Amino acid sequence: MLKNIARLSTALCLLFASIIANAQKKVSIPFGKDGRISYDLSRGTFDTYQANEAVFKTIYADAKVNDIELDTRKYLKRSYTKERIKDGFGNGYKHTITLTADGLQQMKQVFYTYDDRGYFFTEISFTGAVLKSNNMHPINGGFVPVSGGDLQTVFVPFDNDTFISYQSKAFGKDNGVSAEVGTVYSEKARGGLVAGSIEHGVWKTGVSLNAGEPVNKIDVWAGYTAEAVTRDKIAHGIIEGNTIRSPRIMMGYFADWRKGMEEYGKANRIADPPAVAKWTKPTPVGWNSWGVIQEHISLDKAKKVVDFFADSIPAFRTGKTAYIDLDSYWDKLVHNGDYAELKEFVTYCRAKGLEPGVYWAPFTDWGHGGGPNRKVDGSDYTFGDIWTKVGGGYHDLDGARAIDPTHPGTKQRIAYIIGKLKACGFSMIKIDFLGHAAIEANGFYDKSVKTGMEAYRKGMEYLISQTGKDMLIYAAISPSLATGRYTHMRRIACDAFKSIDNTQYTLNSVTYGWWQTYLYDYLDADHVVFNDETEGANRARLLSALITGTWLSGDDLSTHGQWSERIKKYYEKPELLEVVKPGKAFRPVDGNTGKGASAIFSKREGNVFYVAAFNYGKQPTSYSLTADRLGINFKTLLNGKELLQNNPIINNGALQFKLGGADAALYKFTVK
């Protein structure tokens, strides 16, 4: 009996010793007010908790380095250190797990946590002699089910080319891959998780989020390419060095997934601050020639547009000016290298109190059909010298051929063309087809550049060094996240014009990409065209611009039509100009529209609350909006009025109103 008691006592002591030993192998890393990472040093995995609820489970990291599969779970020794840090995110800690094993490259798994941030960052790196990789997975593992009903995930495109759309999907087992960032959320309860890269200077990142048992699956990896998304026809470039590192990945769970996406947008701007000169002027408004005039641009037409702005809508201004932007085909005003007509246009604009803008696609060759022996503008190189080599050929997309952003011929061409445009006096430039500079290639002229994103960074940095500090830089087709540091303003989608379908297409990108308003100074809905559409469709197209954050017209204002009178009716309304003055996009209310768009958007600006409503269908529709969905107490709303057509509204426990087919309304309330 005594022997049995002694044996039991010994077994209990061993059990307790084992529990204590295992507990000592778990490192608790706090973040924000109620977040915690629990890292298991014995297994090389971690779990995360927020408000004592599990979020991510059994997360590990892995990579392929020098063709060897390396995995945090396979290393034998793991040690933990931390150091205090202070950076753009505030006060926090850098936590480092160092992993070693005989015959394996040293690996580090790093976490960045901050006192006032309800999320954290993680990255992995490897140290050794001449390391190479194009495949790193800083996040691989599981996450617990999101509660609340109607679970959704969103496909986020890499760029805004080829009329690509965002797409919300019912969360399931095969959701595909989202570019750079992914989210899973409850459309009903709003809560959701966000995971995505906040660095885009080296890697393209993919995010996979899928349903599984017993937990859901998450995989965030650097080295993602897919022709339909990133436009690449070959594998991701291979980075190399004695130390190689993944991008930094943001992870967190948010009570409202929309807040999480906004925090993600802000984190990108903090992690990689703008390289472009700080914009200190008011929100840009104005006109762009591609809306209707397109290839029919001429000096006479351009002057007549200026006259319309000066004589018919003189109050359509922010900061006492508006921009008149000549899009593609402005070279029709250049004759045998003589830029005199462009200079005349610039002088005419300025004399009328307006700012002249121009357009260019700096990383494309539109004349590649003329052969490789054509001389590059401002250079002794030929275009054949500077074409980006991909596989056994070149990269052609949208009818244009990509040119190597790092090639001296490309740089000389940029310096030459930008120099000519600056000499003319242009104060704005719209740059287009920038994704051609980010393509993965066989190699680049600059041998230190190994990936498409490294080439993009080199090319864009050189471009803005030539534009200088005084130009408004506007990006059209471009990588969504990597472009944030190089431009003041970015078009949210691909080309859009006048129809209600164009409005819905544009607002698909606002519905699921509005959060980029915190990455750029301004987002833009592209040229607002009224043309021959119904007035309801005109209102919808106009409102799509207002809720995106800026206001650029696109009608042919060199001639008279029904659009002229409607522009006079709407463009000088002070309360509409007040909407774009802050330059920030509205939030979507709906997040389960597939490739469609939310019908309702809202924004609070100080003591003003806006509700924007759209009817994309042909038939009249009634709306009833609850306080819960809009996120505001209706008892605080006063003096409600509609700004576009005096459309009536009833506040009867819900905001109720009706819209005609293909129409829109904008309600403004004072918040007491």
Give per-residue pLDDT as tens, 171-217.
Answer: 999 999 999 999 999 999 999 999 999 999 999 999 999 999 889 99
Domains in the chain with CATH codes: 29-271 (2.70.98.10), 285-587 (3.20.20.70), 597-671 (2.60.40.1180)
User: Shortest CA distance to 355 belongs to which of 251, 470, 443?
Assistant: 470
pLDDT of amino acid 434: 98
Query: Mind listing the pLDDT tens digit for each residue in 57-80?
Result: 999 999 999 999 999 999 999 999
Query: Mind listing the pLDDT tens digit for each residue in 389-402?
Result: 999 999 999 999 99
Tell me the mean pLDDT in the region 98-112.
96
Structure-model confidence comparison of residues 399 and 9, the more confident one? 399
Lowest model confidence (mean pLDDT) among 32-36, 164-168, 210-214, 355-359:
210-214
Tell me the mean pLDDT in the region 135-162.
97
3, pLDDT greater than 90: no
Query: Mind listing the pLDDT tens digit for each residue in 627-648?
Result: 999 999 998 999 899 999 989 9
Tell me the mean pLDDT in the region 132-154.
96
10, pLDDT greater than 70: no
321: DSSP letter: B
Query: Mind listing the pLDDT tens digit for each residue in 286-316?
Result: 999 999 999 999 999 999 999 999 999 999 9
Residue 450, both tokens: 């190994």
Query: Mind listing the pLDDT tens digit for each residue in 238-255?
Result: 999 999 999 999 999 999
Cα separation of 650 and 403, whole Å? 57
pLDDT of amino acid 24: 59
Tell me the mean pLDDT in the region 615-627.
96
Task: Give the model's confidence band at 1: pLDDT under 50 very low, under 70 low, under 90 confident, else very high.
Answer: very low
Task: Give the model's confidence band at 651: pLDDT under 50 very low, under 70 low, under 90 confident, else very high.
Answer: confident
6, pLDDT greater than 80: no
Instruction: Tell me if 603 sits within 8 A of 546, measured CB to CB.
Output: no
Q: Pinpoint the alpha helices (H) of 282-441.
A: 299-311, 340-351, 383-386, 408-424
200: DSSP letter: -
pLDDT of amino acid 36: 98
18, pLDDT greater than 60: no
SS (H, E, C) 490-550: EECCCCCCCCHHHHHHHHHHHHHHHHHHHCCCEEECCCECCCCCCHHHHHHHHHHHHHHCC
Task: Give the model's confidence band at 416: pLDDT under 50 very low, under 70 low, under 90 confident, else very high.
Answer: very high
pLDDT of amino acid 20: 40
Tell me the mean pLDDT in the region 223-236.
98
**pLDDT averaged over every residue in the chain:** 95
16, pLDDT greater than 70: no
pLDDT of amino acid 458: 98
Residues 225-239 as b/e (b if ≥16 CB within 10 A, e otherwise) read beeebbbbeeebbeb
User: Shortest CA distance to 460 belongs to which of 416, 406, 403, 401?
Assistant: 406
User: Shortest CA distance to 633 belongs to which of 667, 589, 671?
Assistant: 671
Residue 410, both tokens: 């490309």
pLDDT of amino acid 9: 47
Cα separation of 39 and 144, whole Å? 17
pLDDT of amino acid 17: 37
Cα separation of 23 and 408, whole Å? 58
Q: Is the Cα torsion angle 507, 513, 517, 520 positive or negative in sign?
A: negative
Tell me the mean pLDDT in the region 320-335.
97
Tell me the mean pLDDT in the region 505-528.
97
Tell me the mean pLDDT in the region 108-117.
97
- Let me know how long the chain is: 672
pLDDT of amino acid 214: 87
320, pLDDT greater than 80: yes
Lowest model confidence (mean pLDDT) among 13-22, 128-137, 578-587:
13-22
471, pLDDT greater than 80: yes
Query: Mind listing the pLDDT tens digit for each residue in 335-366?
Result: 999 999 999 999 999 999 999 999 999 999 99
Query: Mind listing the pLDDT tens digit for each residue in 417-457?
Result: 999 999 999 999 999 999 999 999 999 999 999 999 999 99
